[in-house]
Amino acid sequence: MKTNKIFALIQVELKKLYRDPMIAAVLLLMPIGLTLVFYFALGNLYQDPTRPEMSHFEYLVPGTMGYAVIYMGMMVALALCEYREVGILKRLASTPTSPYQYLGSLIIANIVIGIVQGLIVLLVSVLLGFEVQVGVAGLTLVGVFLGLTAVAAVGLGLLTATIAKNSGAASGLSMIFIVPMMVFGTFLAVFDETTYNIARFMPNFYATDSLTYIFNGASLSEPVIWKNLLILFVISLVIVVAGIQLFKRTEFR
């Protein structure tokens, strides 16, 4: 019964994509726009001496995939703040649905959305000339990294919604984690030891690093891939558990 309830809640979250065109536009079309911006801005820029045939756009494709997922954290925060403002969360607290069931369905739905977002970036990039050396197993692992990144994004969204008093404040607060993740987690920054150490605090950095290995044809047994997966799992788990506990205490009392 609990499984059926969670599945129904997941369906409700996913149905928002076609019930609200604005949400669909941001979550599904934003990755396309972001990819095109990087392509037209950096597609003719070649600066990696170790791989002179690779444009800076191609270099950033793995990071763009992860960043598209992280951006979802803002949408989660905005939605939860709007639910609070119109009283949906209070009404939810009076139903048999537990906070864990609702928040669990929110996480699962956004994992699905996050994986789709990342794969949209990959598909558009391939259509623009990005060449990947990856099979089914590699794509599956890519999906796992995107899914874990989505978990971190939802956790950050929950933390933002806990702090923010309204959707306007949530939008501004979200930039506190979105901008650093774009600059460092996508490898936009020119790395020296200092910026590399800063990047280690960004969840999407670990996805970007591993996706780069996977797309370049590295063996899936490469230790760094699994090390990054473990680190990303721990970071995402800590963030989402903290987000769930804090949000639950403030909204489902």
* HEC profile of 169-199: HHHHHHHHHHHHHHHHHCCCCCCCHHHHHHH
Instruction: Determine the angle formed by the axes of helices 72-86 and 56-70, rounding to 10 degrees.
Output: 20
Of 210, 249, 178, the C-alpha closest to 26 is: 178
Q: For the segment 117-127, what is each residue's pLDDT rounded down to a tens digit?
A: 999 999 999 99
**How far is it, in rounded angstroms, from Cα 5 to Cα 170?**
29
* pLDDT score recorded for residue 1: 45
Residue-level pLDDT at 41: 84
Position 124 scores a pLDDT of 93
In whole angstroms, what is the distance from residue 214 CA to residue 91 CA?
45
- Residue in the structure block whose two tokens are 């979105």: 178
Cβ atoms 252, 84 nearer than 8 A: no
Give pLDDT, residue 12.
72
- Interior angle at CA 227, CA 225 and CA 231, nearest 5: 115
Two structure tokens written together for 123: 């598909």
Specify the long-range contacts of residues 175-179, CB closer than 8 Å, at least 24 apart: 175/74, 177/70, 177/73, 178/70, 178/71, 178/73, 178/74
Any idea how long the chain is?
Answer: 253
| 216 residue type, one letter | N
CA dist 226 to 150, 151, 201, Å?
A: 18, 18, 17
Which pLDDT does position 152 carry in this prediction? 96
pLDDT under 50: residue ranges of the chain: 1
Q: Which residues of 124-152 are buried (b: 16+ CB within 10 A; e: fewer)?
A: bbeebebebebeeebeebbbebbbbbbbb
242 vs 154: CA distance, rounded Å: 11
Helix (H, G, I), strand (E, B) or coil at 48: coil
Nearest CA to 117 among 94, 98, 141, 142? 142
Q: Quick one: pLDDT at residue 47? A: 60
